[in-house]
Amino acid sequence: MITKEQIKIFNDKISKAQSIVLCAHKNPDGDAVGSVLALARLIELNYDKEVICMYDGNVPDNLDNVPLRRHLNYYTHVDENISVDVAIVMDYGIKRNIGGPQKFLDKAKFVIEIDHHKNDDKVGNLCIDDENAAATGEIIYELMRAAKWNSDAMVWGALMTAIVTDTGLFKYITRGDVLRIVADLVDRGINIQQIINDLANKPRKTVLTESLSAGNAEFFYKNKLAIAIIDNKQYKNLDGRGETVLNLLGQIHGLDYIALLKEQKPNQIGVSLRGRFKPVEQIAVALGGGGHEFAAGAVVKDTLENVKNRILELFKGVIK
């Protein structure tokens, strides 16, 4: 629950700030992009202040239609010499996921974090976190309501994108509160079908690359674990995190775990883990990452083959 004290501190810091920057995790997904842009718009509407929204990595093409997407700047395009009164970081999980914008947080006079990931090493002076939230966008919605802020269709659309994305098109929802938020956004005029259609609009090369990866997946431990790989040559075709691979393999009867290994560059492997009602968070933590109980990930500095063998060893102790 967001407290009156948290709202008071947020209001005081934003009201007095002359320069405000917003960011989320590297390679932002729909929750990160939607949350950043929704909060930026809320600050503009309620405090009459412009903010700088930035990111590191790549933003998937299927997020091009998110309201205010044009206001999201690659961090190297922001003057690194600017003064920062308040920095707000969202949906970041662990510190190293922030990437390039970290240097703006380091020099900020005050840092606010808003997140729904479990994290024992917080970076914020003010932490508005909720591990039970389905998405960071849900926390932004609750903050908006608790603070009684004015909002508009651009805010509502960005929040719906955030929630739809991080709930896997509502598949991972475990609390009715989230659906009540979605219902409110629909009642305000947001078209869920349009947002889902936009999210499903990927480049052909991406769909073909992901389909090939799923088709070439290997199965281990009596077909309980699937490991799919996207090598460095194929990685350039990827637009996002490879959700199509995970979704396709997730339909296989009897499969409990999925690991997608993406060779981002030599000796740097992005790992996405999914569990079908089986926890994978501790596997991600063992690899130096984190996330949620059934959806987690990590970036490992090692060869593709070594990371694959490490994952096999970790799951060996889990799969019965």
What is the secondary structure of 19-53 as a DSSP string? -EEEE--SS--HHHHHHHHHHHHHHHHHH----EE
Same domain, residue pair 120 and 211: no
Each residue's pLDDT tens digit in the chain (320 positions)? 899 999 999 999 999 999 999 999 998 999 999 999 999 999 999 999 989 999 998 888 889 888 889 999 999 999 989 999 999 999 998 898 999 999 999 999 999 999 999 887 899 999 999 999 999 999 999 999 999 999 999 999 999 999 999 998 888 888 999 999 999 999 999 999 999 999 888 889 989 999 999 999 999 999 999 999 999 999 988 876 788 899 899 999 999 999 999 999 899 999 999 998 889 999 999 999 888 888 888 999 999 999 999 999 999 988 87
Based on the domain organization, do 33 and 121 belong to the same domain?
A: yes
Q: What is the pLDDT of residue 222?
A: 94
Q: What is the pLDDT of residue 240?
A: 67
Asked if residue 21 and residue 51 are part of one domain, the reply reads yes
Last residue of a domain, one of 183, 199, 215: 199
Residues 107 and 170 reside in one and the same domain: yes
pTM, two decimal places: 0.86
Say if residues 36 and 24 touch (Cβ distance below 8 Å): yes
Question: Residue 127: how many CA atoms within 13 Å on its side-chain side?
Answer: 15
Residue 11 has what pLDDT?
A: 97
In this structure, the answer to whether residues 126 and 262 fall within a common structural domain is: no
Are the beta carbons of 124 and 86 closer than 8 angstroms? no
| Tally of structural domains, the chain | 2
pLDDT the model gives residue 41? 97
Please tell me the predicted confidence (pLDDT) of residue 82: 94
Hey, what amino acid is at 234?
Answer: Q
In this structure, are 86 and 226 located in the same domain?
Answer: no
Q: Considering 144, 173, 199, which residue would you say is the last residue of a domain?
A: 199
Range of the domain at 93: 4-199
Which secondary-structure segment (H or E) carries 311? Answer: helix 304-316
Residues 99 and 184 occupy one common structural domain: yes
CA dist 172 and 163 (Å) reads 10
Same domain, 173 and 89: yes
